[in-house]
Amino acid sequence: MKVELQNLTKIFPSRNKKSNEEVVAVSDFTFTIPDGKLVGLLGPSGCGKSTTLYMISGLQNPTSGKIFFGDEDVTELSPENRGIGLVFQNYALYPHMTVKQNILFPLQNLKGADKMTKEQMLERAYQAAKLVQIDELMDRKPSELSGGQQQRVAIARALVKMPRVLLLDEPLSNLDARLRLQTREEIRRIQKETGITTIFVTHDQEEAMSISDVIVVMKLGVVQQTGKPQEIYDNPINLFVAKFLGTPPINVFAGAVRAGALYIGDDKVLDVPGVDDREVYVGIRPEGFIPAADGALVCKLSNVEVMGRDVSIVSYNDSMLTPTVRSIVDADYKIDITAENVRFNLKPHKVFLFDKETEKRIYFGDQKAPAAAEEN
Ligand code: ADP
Ligand code: MG
């Protein structure tokens, strides 16, 4: 089921009686979620992810804008009639019911033509339980399950009505690191098996990158960039997006362009054809540094961490805006850890320039704005 958001906007009235400042939680969100895909809605806390999800579910009404499921305008439809499955961060299972009763619950409330026999309901419940691999635990109470198992029950309960759209709001946040990884792979598998169009909300960029077909990056209610995870990572449209995606995070320097060359401090580090003389912010991905004896960018070496296949070089430069320069290089490079300085050449496609005022990307050489960004 294709989900189309048209100019979706949510404005909350002021909660503070003294000021009239309203909160624009979501602003003019236009996007089409392709049928059968998993879309990651990504952004820092408070950027409007949950509000967007609640509007799609029908739990909140948009201030303006429209929502379509396929060709059907569902903007005025109540949540029960939208055919959605919802999963929240805090499982929200009924504690006095068994797993089986929890999963059966949504089916027992079906009315009219949708009403099912007891056998049909049980079959569906077991199907959903099998899908999330909890069919052995059907007679337990939620308190007798681990967090990961509880979240699986919540997912089974969301799937049992065979929803047209599955909506997940930070479903892994309450799990420990190992379970988070495992459950996220599970969700991806289930989504692929069922082909249900899924919207997955998270503030964790790594989670979004690993699970999503498409990512939507939001900031303060405004969509910043949409695209495949790798495309956004490789071609961020502004400094915010560049900084939000990637571990270790992108390194940011103050720099200047003079006569087609990029300077960081006094070091002439890269040719940047097509850019006029100006001051810029320079973002360099950790994998964009090549250690070299005659490298153009000189940094003070502070630490070298060997991580098996890769080596992480931690260094310092007077022009940087991030605390340290973190570069990841192949373990084949032999770094002299006693040296005072480390010198790098830069990979041009791993270097991004940004306007100092607007923080928007400035493209140089054969760099091009992403296609989706041109449409916006
Ligand atoms: P996220 O899920 O990305 O953390 P939310 O969608 O929950 O963000 O919130 C977006 C913004 O809207 C925040 O500034 C939040 O304080 C505000 N907000 C959310 N719900 C309400 C509400 N019911 N009333 C007033 N403001 C709200
Ligand atoms: Mg939220």
Task: For residues 24 and 198, give the distance between their C-alpha atoms in angstroms, rounded to a whole number.
Answer: 25
pLDDT of residue 19: 72
Could you read off the pLDDT tens digit of each residue along the chain, which spans 376 residues?
999 999 999 999 887 777 778 999 999 999 999 999 999 999 999 999 999 999 999 999 999 999 999 999 999 999 989 999 999 888 789 999 999 999 999 998 888 888 889 999 999 999 999 988 899 999 999 999 998 899 899 999 999 988 999 999 999 988 888 888 888 998 999 999 999 999 999 999 999 999 999 999 999 999 999 999 999 999 999 999 999 999 999 999 999 999 999 999 999 999 999 999 999 999 999 999 999 999 999 999 999 998 888 999 999 999 999 889 999 998 888 888 889 999 999 999 999 999 999 999 999 999 999 986 444 4
Cβ-based neighbours of 196, under 8 Å, separated by 6 or more? 1, 36, 85, 159, 163, 164, 165, 166
Across the strands, what pairs with 283?
252, 352
Ligand nearest to the CA of 88: 2
Ligand 2 centroid to 130 CA: how many Å? Answer: 29
Ligand 2 centroid to 51 CA: how many Å? Answer: 7
Closest residue by Cα to residue 33 from 81, 106, 77, 84:
84
Nearest atom (ligand 1) to Cα of 201:
2
Pocket of ligand 1 (CB under 6 A): 12, 15, 23, 25, 43, 45-51
Asked whether the beta carbons of 233 and 209 are under 8 A apart, the reply is: yes
Asked whether the beta carbons of 300 and 316 are under 8 A apart, the reply is: yes
Q: In what order do the strands lie in the sheet with 267-271?
A: 267-271, 261-264, 251-258, 278-284, 351-355, 361-362
Structure tokens at 162: 């065979």
Residue with CA nearest ligand 1 atom 10: 48
Closest residue by Cα to residue 202 from 29, 25, 59, 40:
40
Nearest atom (ligand 1) to Cα of 170:
2
Question: Which residues crowd ion ligand 2, with CB under 5 Å?
Answer: 50
Regarding pTM above 0.85, the answer is: yes
> Cα 222 to chain center, whole Å?
14
Longest Cα separation, the chain: 78
Asked whether the beta carbons of 213 and 178 are under 8 A apart, the reply is: no
Residues 161/164/169/170 CA torsion (nearest 10 deg) = 90
Residue with CA nearest ligand 1 atom 17: 25
Residue with CA nearest ligand 1 atom 5: 48
Write the CA distances from 33 to 77, 106, 198, 370, integer angstroms.
19, 26, 9, 18
Structure tokens at 208: 């979004």
Nearest atom (ligand 1) to Cα of 10:
12
Cβ-based neighbours of 144, under 8 Å, separated by 6 or more? none
Structure tokens at 95: 């504690």
